[in-house]
Structure 1
Amino acid sequence: MTHTEDTYFFTHAVLQQAAYQLSPPSVRAGLHASAAELLGELPEPPAADIALHARLAREGVTQFDDTLLKLERHWLEQAATDAEQSYRTFDAIRMLERLASIQRSESPDQVGTWCRLASLLIELNRIGEALPLAERALEVAQQLEDLRLQADACSAIAAACRDGIRNAEAGDYYRRARDLFSQIGHKPGLVKVALGLAGTLWIQGNLEEAEEVVREACELGGDAQDSPTRAGAWMNRLGIVLQSRKFDEARDILKRLDAIAAKTTQPVLQMRLHSFRGYALDVMGESEPARREYTIAMALAQQTGNMAEVARCQTNLALLDAAEKRYAQANARHVAAERIAREQGDLRIAAYACAGQSHIACWLGDFRSGLERIHASIRIATQLGLGGITENWKVTAGLLHAELGDLDAASEILQNMNQPDTSLSVATRLAVLGVIASRAGDTDGARTLAAQAREHLPGSPYEVDPPAGRWIDMALALLG
């Protein structure tokens, strides 16, 4: 069996059957032997529990639910940890939800599980589920007067607030978590919180302060015993440095990550490092080295059974293919990524894959297919509450409606949406609305919108899908 939870579920079923004497004694003995053998293959098997089960079964005792519950909690914990460390987020959530349901109500163990569960839900942008759970965890942790649990809960609340409408609160919760982790001297927690705070500051536009905080995180994580902590700190710093276009510093950080990769034997960490290295090289315009890194990461993901990461790598490789105008190959990768992501239940990746298919259709002039695919992305993104990227995709949808002659639908989408999160998307939206206003006879309104669109265009050379380029040009022509 591939994963810990597979063995856990099978063994649990065997023990339940044996425990309640649904089989003859000879069969029961065989079931116990099989269960013990399976559990013995996993790390730290609860041998005492297995022995107790065997003794009670031999003695004909059938009611020992507490022991079964204890065993189930143990293996759910093991299975969830295994899934987390393998970056199989959906599997980890499934395990933790079951674990929380059988833990003592409002016990420290249950609150700790809530915090872990909230953090994983945030990874999938399921903020609507994560935030109430984290807030409940903080409330109970305060009643228990447990500083560690309070710190974990504050950190989870901050992460949930960071990408939503409560962004301003995120920094306060991260600072509160930092104070609590400092009180108990928990260095991994301090590193995690520093990275979260840096991300919040970056989102709020405080790039210099974000760099300072992430530098502190790297110093804290520099002597951490586990490679994932050190790697996580440097990967976050690299992400912010790349956003600042400081490519010389980015290459220095890549060397540090290479040193970590050379010393680790963990295929999952190697997968993450290769994937992130591919992203960094991609941002720096080194497409062929980026392609090699993504390909290695995808092979490692397949080796470790992380199909969600396989889908992510496929979308990244598809973007490289599209940039080189290898549209057929790019589209095939996006289609494969969508299929894998939907099979895994990772709708976020599926949304990006649909958007990638729309992008390719636009380049090929198939605007109807592009419109259908971008609406698929929007439906998923709205369901998940993805935020800014959803608005970018709405701009594309409005643009394609306009390109196909449905100006009413285009106007409705573009007027009834929130602000996109890229300047080019903002400019495209204003340009299309400007041209629509011009065709409706509102010359002054059209020129105002066109002027606003021009203000948002990037100063450096930029590339857009063909329809966006045409509508931007038409809007700028209104200014004379």
Structure 2
Amino acid sequence: MIPGMDAEIAYLFRHALLRDAAYQLQLPGDRARLHGIAFEVIEAGSGGRPPEPPPLDATEERAFQPHAADPVAHELAEHARLADRPEEPGGRLKSRLLYLRRAAEVAERRFRLEAAQGCWRELAGIAEGTVRAEALRRAGTAAAMRGRPVEAEPLLRESSLLFRGHGKRKLECRALGNLASVFWQTGRLKESEGAHEEALATARAAGDRRAEGVTLGNLATVFQETGRIEQAERTLDEALALDRESRNRQAEGVVLINLGGIYLHTGRIELAERTHETGLAIFREIGDRRAEGEALGGLATIYRVTGRLEEAERHYGLAISIHREVGNRIFEGVALGNLAIVCLDAGRPVEAEAMHERALGIHREVGNRRSEAISLGNLAVVYEQRGRMSEAEVAHKKALAIHRETGNSRFEATTLGNLAILYHRTARLERAEKDFERALSILRELSDRQFRAVFLWRYALLSLERGRVAEARRDWRRAATFLLEMRNSGEHRTAVSEMQAACKRAGVLPFDE
């Protein structure tokens, strides 16, 4: 016996070695026959061969039909591969294609995205034509969903080109839409918009109203991200009508959540909350756990903005739990960052900093440049509150550079506003005024009442300090009205407290009298 090794472990070790040696001693043809026997025995013991599924490259998606062989589908695919004999190459190809597909689909349903990606890649390696193209698309989609955009992009590019070459316009549209989402994920908004526009033209040329609705909904997110808020809302309304016409409940839910985001940023808080709740109900109705997690995060943000911190923390926690369950690393990072903001608002800055660092690590891991910049900016706010002004300024400037690189106008404005606050606190009043004015100008263009109110009352206090009392009173009152309309009671309390202290220092009556 091997010294220091448990007898049972030693037996298992020797058994594995002997089994491997016995296997290697078999001639290739005999090994293939053994795998063929294993395939037949396992298949027979697992309910027999599953019914032939609809073609993988069918334009209409069909619901997956489970089978008793699903738990051993990948094992059966591997036995089919190894059962091929030199004198009869490809004899088990049909079986291998069947079970690789089932293994990939089962892995998708169980949120084992890395396994799904591997199975689709393997299937693409042995398939031809549009079946290969669809397998590549599914592999690329799995890679994107698990936060691997660098792996996803070449798969989706090849898939869309193959579909185009075979004249499969509807399937090409699907692949282009997936590719556009990867561009969005990596902060390449111009490329994302171009790919979505191409997908939209393809869907319309093919007369595919369902795909047109989905594509319009995705294109609207680019419009929103680049500051075209009215165009985004109009496009989402158009997408919603098409989704309802084609009875696409999943896409309808996504559009409702995105509309809720626009309503929130433009100050229509009650409508935002109702719309989010409707979208969440749809995802629960159709059993879409991934989308349910994302919707819970959106609802939590509404609770945070309106000062309901306990509800916000609870809903972010639920969202994070689902993101981890389904392997959604991208939105796990987003929700962690948002939960960190709640921690800071609740007076737990040490916890907030650690959580922002974790979120930042996830964003960098998955290549999410947009969220990386947002987390850097939020981390800078924590540094500032903890008195680390130099670190805060560096982090804000890094965030600002990425926002400008990725075309994220809204968060460019918020970062400028946060820099202005920092400059004000460090007595650099001219720089503070310049950045406040630029931030407020962008937010006005975006019709963003949420952040405009936050920075407007702070700008009012800077105006007061610089002797512009009437202007300061006007701007502060306008901001306070916005905050009350948006039910942002926490921010309103802060605005009142800081205004009263500033007015006392300046020797003027408080602005709320």
Assess, with a 3 A threshold, how the Cα gap between structure 1 residues 263 and 359 changes in structure 2: closer, same or farther. Answer: same
Check whether the contact 2:296–2:318 (CA below 8 A) recurs between aligned residues: yes
> 2:176, 2:326 → 1: CA distance?
32
> 1:265, 1:457 → 2: CA distance?
41
2:366 is the alignment partner of 1:346: yes
Deviates more, 1:137-146 or 1:33-42: 33-42
| Amino acid in the other structure paired with 1:101 | G
Number of the residue aligned with 1:275: 297
The structure 2 residue matched to 1:422, chosen from 397, 407, 412, is 412
Alignment of 1:400-439 (within 5 A): 421-426=411-416
> 2:173, 2:230 → 1: CA distance?
26
Q: Over aligned residues, Cα RMSD in angstroms?
A: 5.5
Assess, with a 3 A threshold, how the Cα gap between structure 1 residues 205 and 133 changes in structure 2: closer, same or farther. Answer: same
Number of the residue aligned with 2:403: 388
2:127 is the alignment partner of 1:103: yes
Residue 149 of structure 1 and its aligned partner are, at CA, apart by 2.7
Number of the residue aligned with 1:43: 66
| Amino acid in the other structure paired with 1:462 | V
> 1:435, 1:80 → 2: CA distance?
56
Consecutive unaligned residues in structure 2, runs of 5 or more: 1-19, 51-64, 445-451, 469-513
The structure 2 residue matched to 1:239, chosen from 261, 265, 268, is 261
2:308 is the alignment partner of 1:286: yes
Residue 259 of structure 1 and its aligned partner are, at CA, apart by 3.5
2:437 is the alignment partner of 1:455: yes
Number of the residue aligned with 2:282: 260
The structure 1 residue matched to 2:339, chosen from 303, 317, 325, is 317
Alignment of 1:106-125 (within 5 A): 107-117=129-139
Deviates more, 1:450-459 or 1:204-213: 450-459
> 1:51, 1:22 → 2: CA distance?
18
Identity of aligned residues (%): 16
Assess, with a 3 A threshold, how the Cα gap between structure 1 residues 141 and 325 changes in structure 2: closer, same or farther. Answer: same
Assess, with a 3 A threshold, how the Cα gap between structure 1 residues 223 and 259 changes in structure 2: closer, same or farther. Answer: farther
Number of the residue aligned with 1:395: none
Check whether the contact 2:333–2:359 (CA below 8 A) recurs between aligned residues: yes
Alignment of 1:47-196 (within 5 A): 66=90, 69-82=93-106, 84=108, 92-104=116-128, 107-117=129-139, 134=156, 136-156=158-178, 158-159=180-181, 163-166=188-191, 169-170=194-195, 172-181=197-206, 183=207, 185=208, 187=210, 189-196=211-218
Check whether the contact 1:222–1:230 (CA below 8 A) recurs between aligned residues: yes
Number of the residue aligned with 1:400: none
SS in 2 for 1:325: coil
TM-score by length of 2: 0.59
Check whether the contact 1:338–1:354 (CA below 8 A) recurs between aligned residues: yes
TM-score by length of 1: 0.63
SS in 2 for 1:317: helix
Check whether the contact 2:80–2:92 (CA below 8 A) recurs between aligned residues: no
> 2:111, 2:404 → 1: CA distance?
23
| Amino acid in the other structure paired with 1:456 | R
> 1:134, 1:433 → 2: CA distance?
45
SS in 2 for 1:66: coil
Number of the residue aligned with 2:355: 333
Consecutive unaligned residues in structure 1, runs of 5 or more: 1-12, 393-417, 440-445
CA deviations on 1:413-448 (whole Å, 9 max, x unpaired) are: xxxxx9894224346679999999x99xxxxxx96x
SS in 1 for 2:303: helix
> 2:27, 2:237 → 1: CA distance?
55
CA deviations on 1:338-388 (whole Å, 9 max, x unpaired) are: 67778xx5354994767655543442234677689889x98xx99xxxx52
Assess, with a 3 A threshold, how the Cα gap between structure 1 residues 423 and 247 changes in structure 2: closer, same or farther. Answer: same
> 1:149, 1:290 → 2: CA distance?
40
CA deviations on 1:449-476 (whole Å, 9 max, x unpaired) are: 6664342143845379xxxx99x979x9
Check whether the contact 1:158–1:173 (CA below 8 A) recurs between aligned residues: no
> 1:250, 1:92 → 2: CA distance?
35
Higher relative contact order (CA 8 A, sep 6+): 2
Assess, with a 3 A threshold, how the Cα gap between structure 1 residues 272 and 429 changes in structure 2: closer, same or farther. Answer: closer
Assess, with a 3 A threshold, how the Cα gap between structure 1 residues 263 and 22 changes in structure 2: closer, same or farther. Answer: same
Check whether the contact 1:154–1:177 (CA below 8 A) recurs between aligned residues: no
Check whether the contact 1:122–1:130 (CA below 8 A) recurs between aligned residues: yes
